[in-house]
Structure 1
């Protein structure tokens, strides 16, 4: 059987096979999902994407090892903060990280993580870069997007080379929010409505400004420059 014939058969099986869908209340391990049409259903989950802003310019104009150090510093801080707020890192993709939060406090936990990552950028990573490279003009910038929805996890790839794909509005929208660079933190109305006052107000002032997301049918979203110390 040629490779083309083999792939033709496998693709036909994917579209013909019924899905076995099981409800789950936490982020599943890839080993809990079969490679055939099997999915885990998180009925409501919050997705956080944290992304370096301007990394293409960085790799084009700075030494490779400088870019590597910036990547490592940002992703290390983001991953540790996400874990401290009860989130699960589900993917690293170049200069970005994806995480999922579940449970009753998922909106607050995700937003606290975002606020702390913003603090880490401004008060930990930027000063460290300036101390190590005092003459550099580079300024680390980042964008975080957060949304929530029903999510389904399916296993993709082939045996020995596979990963999970997350299917649902939140995964796509959180990623697309990182394309907005006016401010570092962006959340959807669904996230904003799920927040407690601690994540909405600081000194009786709202931490969030509203915007209309023109690329997504003028959906109401919120942005912020606030941070939360650790």
Structure 2
């Protein structure tokens, strides 16, 4: 097959089938299948991309033409890992933290070598013979014969590397390597688009919340564009923060806030909630009724999150007390209602948030927690929907609410 014909076939694939893929894994799978139709006999393809995320620095997708036993990776450098099928092929998806940059397994890999040389082709020797990289021992057992690696070009300046392993008896010839090099330059164009889309979604969900991030990325960006949302509304506030922070430097102050937010927010997300906003040392979160097949499920999830956060805060306080630091306490209010959910602000600066009477009620009830000596208080609508037994604390007038409201605490 001549080079021109290969180029034409690749461009036809890239602009038709390739351009239709919406995820990196699907795009990589399609690319490897194209190469195998062209006779490259790719057994394994490893694509590593840097990303922008508060917990991880890189994502690695390992494609194999059939399900295989995955190669062990140091668990200390892994944030998340999963395997899944795409047809008869398998994807091993790994999210790495910053520690991977110093991981001995990475430092002894072809990808580390690519940082300095940009491109390499190495034969994979038969089993039992010395190999240039430790990973080649496993590849030799699968009958692989050659490895081509390339540092990809990225218009966004994000590090991207790819490694392709062939099973051709004589490895890859010069013409095949030339074709790979040429096609990967074009492959990178759509890969960059997919990575930019992924990073955009990650940043939106990290900074404004999971559901708001999804809605904004899907186009809900007009000023005044709001929807009515029924949800269990969570409002919590760190007690005595002004006194705690008195005399502290900025770094200590941030450490306390981050420690508090970490234990509470993790509990909210693990129970299916979504944090919308940090307001100083306070947290506004929602448990949408639509996500739990009804109000009772949403309220139960919020209660479980409150219980989880209390347990985690107790563990955090044990450590703080051991180190001579004061314990952290917070108040939590839970309310159920319909609020306006969407974009407010000005043309220059919008905020995606929850507003309305029900949010005010949740905030005012939280303000009662210290007054009545309770860690958690719930509104009457919340209690009625949750079906959990509660004890009445009494009726209270809330600022901005005309009629007194009865509030409840767990038994």
Q: 1:188 to 1:79 in 2, by over 3 A?
A: same
- Does structure 1 conserve the Cα–Cα contact (< 8 Å) formed by 2:223 and 2:350? no
**2:236 maps to 1:45:** no
Between 1:159-168 and 1:95-104, the stretch displaced more is 159-168
Corresponding residue for residue 96 of structure 1: 282
* Greater gyration radius: 2
- TM-score w.r.t. the length of structure 1 is 0.72
When normalised by structure 2's length, the TM-score is: 0.42
Instruction: Find the partner of 2:216 among 30, 54, 61.
Output: 30
Q: CA deviation at 1:160?
A: 6.4
For structure 2, the residue ranges without an aligned partner over 5 or more in a row are 1-209
Paired residue for 2:271?
Answer: 85
Shift of 1:209: 4.1
How far has the Cα of 1:162 moved from its partner?
A: 2.2
Distance apart, 1:57 and its partner CA: 0.9
| Deviation sequence 1:15-49 (CA, Å, 0-9, x none) | xxxxxxxxxxx94433443333321122x211101
Q: Which residue of 2 aligns with 1:211?
A: 394
2:264 partner SS: helix
1:159 shift after superposition:
5.2
Distance between the aligned counterparts of 2:248 and 2:261, measured in 1? 19
* Structure-1 separation of matches of 2:365 and 2:211: 22
Partner of 2:110 in structure 1? none
Please state how far the C-alpha of 1:168 moved relative to its aligned partner.
2.7
Note if 1:116 corresponds to 2:308.
yes
Q: Deviations over 1:108-146 (max 9, x none)?
A: 111111121122222x11112112x22x4x231100111
Partners of 1:190 and 1:33 in 2: CA distance: 30
Q: What are the residue-to-residue correspondences of 1:148-227 with 2, within 5 Å?
A: 148-158=336-346, 161-180=349-368, 181=370, 182-197=373-388, 200=389, 208-215=391-398, 216=401, 217-224=403-410
Task: Report the structure, 1 or 2, having the larger strand content.
Answer: 1
- Cα distance in 2 for residues equivalent to 1:74 and 1:145: 17
Contact persistence 1:27–1:102 (CA under 8 A): no
Aligned-pair Cα RMSD in Å: 2.3
Q: Alpha-carbon deviations, 1:195-227, whole Å to 9, x = none? A: 134xx3xxxxx5x44322233533111124x7x
Query: 3-state DSSP class of the match of 1:50?
Result: strand
| Higher RCO by CA contacts (8 Å cutoff, separation 6 or greater) | 1
Runs of 4+ in 1 over 6 A off after TM superposition: none
Q: SS of the residue aligned with 1:58?
A: helix
Q: Does 1:59 align with 2:242?
A: no
Are 1:149 and 1:168, in contact at CA under 8 Å, matched by a contact in 2? no
Q: Secondary structure at the match of 2:234?
A: strand
Per-residue deviation at 1:190?
A: 0.6
Give a deviation string over 1:65-116, Cα, whole Å, max 9, x none.
Answer: 3332221111111111111111111111221111111131111111111121
Any conservation in 1 of the 2:393–2:407 contact (CA below 8 Å)?
yes
> For this pair of structures, how many residues does the alignment match?
187
Q: How does 1:107-146 map to 2 (within 5 A)?
A: 107-122=299-314, 124-131=315-322, 133-134=323-324, 136=325, 138-146=326-334
Whole-angstrom CA distance in 1 between matches of 2:347 and 2:224: 14
Residue among 243, 258, 263 paired with 1:72: 258
